[in-house]
Structure 1
Amino acid sequence: MTKARFTHIGGPTVLIEFGGWRLLTDPTFDPPGRTYSFGWGTSSRKLTGPAVTAAGLPPVDAVLLSHVHHGDNLDDAGRALLPDAGTIVTTASGARSLPAARGLSAGRTTRLEAPGRPAIDITATPCRHGPPLSRPIVGDVIGFSLTWPGQEHGPLWITGDTVYHRALRRAAAGIRPGTVLLHLGGVGFPLTGPLRYTMTARQAVRLCEAIAPRTVLPVHYEGWQHFRQGRDGIERDLRRAPERIRDLFHWLPPGTADHVLL
């Protein structure tokens, strides 16, 4: 059994510590107030800053970067820490813009190894960061399934920015994750009306009913103008879900390490 520490820094940014490893997801450390362009006439303003500054981080062994082209997943301060962050794992297209990054497409695997630590196999999982046929507009995005010796409850799965879709459901069923770091928020823009670009709570319930994880850790649902469903909205929808689904959700306190058994 692995006891891991999760520190939610803000948005999609989480420091994960276990077995001597320190992994950082989607580094975002810019202060609030700036508006970021996401292309095709869409943009969003950052409303809250990180609960931990980049300078306050311990040394990081690897960064798991779901995509490189949106400021709410990789901002200027996050990009600045990459050269000192050890291994970077991201999309195949994104790796071409980052020196020495490992690029993965969905279904491909890379391994992290270091003396005295468990080897971690990282497999990219499919994401669709928007409605059907939106990939040419929104770009390549991946999630990450992490396995290592001693896991009792199944892999750790970081969904990345995605809506609920068939390839995601199939991949999740194959992974059978024990713990899910779940990107939510129901992202939307005035320009695109009712279309959503990340999962809503109702979609998350459908996913959890399909794969029955042990623990769900919601992230990336707050701190930005483009989120259409914050924690209150997520919890309101969860109240309509079966109790066994509601009980899976565990909210990470911002900036404070929380322990989870993996």
Structure 2
Amino acid sequence: MSEFKYQLTLDPSNPKPPTRDHASHPDSLPEAKKTNVHPKGSSTGDENASIYFVGTATTILEWQGLRIMTDPNFLHAGDHVHLGPGVTGTRLTNPAIDLHEIPPIDAILLSHYHADHFDEQVEASLSRDLPIITTPHAKEHLHDSKEGGEKFTAVYDIDHFENMLLSVAPSNSSSDGKSPAIKVTGMPGKHVPPGPLAVINDFLGAVPPTNGWMIELGYKAGSDFKTGYRIYISGDTLLIDELKEIPKRYPDVDLMLIHLGGTTIPGPKMPLLMVTMDAAQGIQLMSLINPDVTIPVHYDDYDVFLSPLEDFKKAVTDAGWDERVVYLDRKDNYKFLVKD
């Protein structure tokens, strides 16, 4: 097990309250507005895991009593976020649910320290001992530079192709000694295109470094880990050469959550630089990763998104890939089967 940078044991019977005021939270997510299964209609009714779409890049993964949240952003329509020097974005939508409606969770996956993925209200409200898996840059802001009670105490920094194992407490093991586990690996991502602007950004630190994630749901027996379902989350990246390494290492991806929107800065009135994939790059990433199913997220929640979802839908149809994509509205979920 020495391959893992970190190992963390989770106890589904005692998940962390999401907010540090420890106010009463519901035991479960609200019922989904629509439940989706495999787009080819191949459901057998035995799905045992789900992705719940809250909005922008915020999703909640549920499996085997575990609940993992990605990129928590719970601002409402009309709220503003700071995205860099002189750059702001305005939220156009409401999240499916509010932060106080989130049931207890076990961990957060934070792709990068940017306000449209980890807003100020979230940062002020979250429990300080809630495990957060994120970039080294984000750890500096959440742990290293904070003092006293403001410091997040369980931040795990994962760089590209580093990984950690989330194990379930032994009491949850089956009679054959297998216990659920989640392997999380940082994937490459670049929020700014390579070249002179990237060099300038590295100096100014205007746009933070970002991760994608490979999430492998599976079972651990002794020192062995067997993957039962593999999810790739692109994170806020452009289509860069480094992504070509992913299918070499992971030729079989069951599900891809792709961040789209063609995010453009400084903003819609002056769209000078695109910092997330648009429809054209998104369809190229589908071709590169070749996942069984793709779900687009991060495409219409802020006014800096200039590549509408309809453009991606058209590109998918033109490619003949309609049976490979599931479209979730906020408060929808997608159910799937993790094999043992």
Deviation string, structure 1 residues 84-143 (Cα, Å, up to 9, x no partner): 673110001211222221011111111112222511111101111121142514221101
Q: What letter corresponds to residue 257 of structure 1 in structure 2? A: N
Sequence identity percentage: 28
Q: Secondary structure at the match of 2:264?
A: coil
Distance 1:103 1:30, change over 3 A: same
2:106 is the alignment partner of 1:28: no
Q: How many residues align?
A: 259
2:168 is the alignment partner of 1:114: yes
2:317 is the alignment partner of 1:239: yes
Q: Secondary structure at the match of 1:239?
A: helix
Q: Give the structure 2 partner of residue 174 of structure 1.
A: 249
Runs of 4+ in 1 over 3 A off after TM superposition: 150-154, 190-194
State TM-score, norm by structure 2. Answer: 0.71
2:210 aligned residue (122, 138, 141):
141
2:234 is the alignment partner of 1:159: yes
Displacement of 1:248 after TM fit? Answer: 1.4
Displacement of 1:258 after TM fit? Answer: 2.7
Displacement of 1:20 after TM fit? Answer: 1.4
Q: What letter corresponds to residue 254 of structure 1 in structure 2? A: R
When structure 1 is superposed on structure 2, of 106-115 and 170-179 the one drifting more is 170-179
1:125 aligned residue (179, 187, 190):
187
2: CA distance, partners of 1:252 / 1:96: 33
1:35-114 matched pairs, under 5 angstroms: 35-68=80-113, 70-83=114-127, 86-98=130-142, 99=152, 100-114=154-168
Displacement of 1:172 after TM fit? Answer: 4.0
Displacement of 1:194 after TM fit? Answer: 4.8
**Consecutive unaligned residues in structure 2, runs of 5 or more:** 1-45, 143-151, 173-178, 220-225
Q: What letter corresponds to residue 59 of structure 1 in structure 2? A: P
2: CA distance, partners of 1:84 / 1:51: 24
Q: Give the structure 1 partner of residue 335 of structure 2.
A: 259
Contact 1:62 / 1:85 at 8 angstroms: preserved in 2?
no
Contact 2:264 / 2:274 at 8 angstroms: preserved in 1?
yes
**Consecutive unaligned residues in structure 1, runs of 5 or more:** none
Displacement of 1:77 after TM fit? Answer: 2.8
Q: Secondary structure at the match of 1:247?
A: helix
Q: Give the structure 1 partner of residue 28 of structure 2.
A: none
Contact 1:153 / 1:214 at 8 angstroms: preserved in 2?
no
Displacement of 1:230 after TM fit? Answer: 2.0
2:284 is the alignment partner of 1:206: yes
Distance 1:103 1:190, change over 3 A: closer
Displacement of 1:190 after TM fit? Answer: 4.9
Superposition RMSD in Å = 2.2
State TM-score, norm by structure 1. Answer: 0.90
2:94 is the alignment partner of 1:19: no
Deviation string, structure 1 residues 135-168 (Cα, Å, up to 9, x no partner): 5142211011111326777511111101111102
Contact 1:201 / 1:234 at 8 angstroms: preserved in 2?
yes
2: CA distance, partners of 1:108 / 1:186: 28
Contact 2:107 / 2:130 at 8 angstroms: preserved in 1?
yes
Contact 2:265 / 2:275 at 8 angstroms: preserved in 1?
no
1:221-240 matched pairs, under 5 angstroms: 221-240=299-318
Contact 2:52 / 2:333 at 8 angstroms: preserved in 1?
yes
- Which structure has the greater CA radius of gyration? 2
Q: What letter corresponds to residue 167 of structure 2 in structure 1? A: E
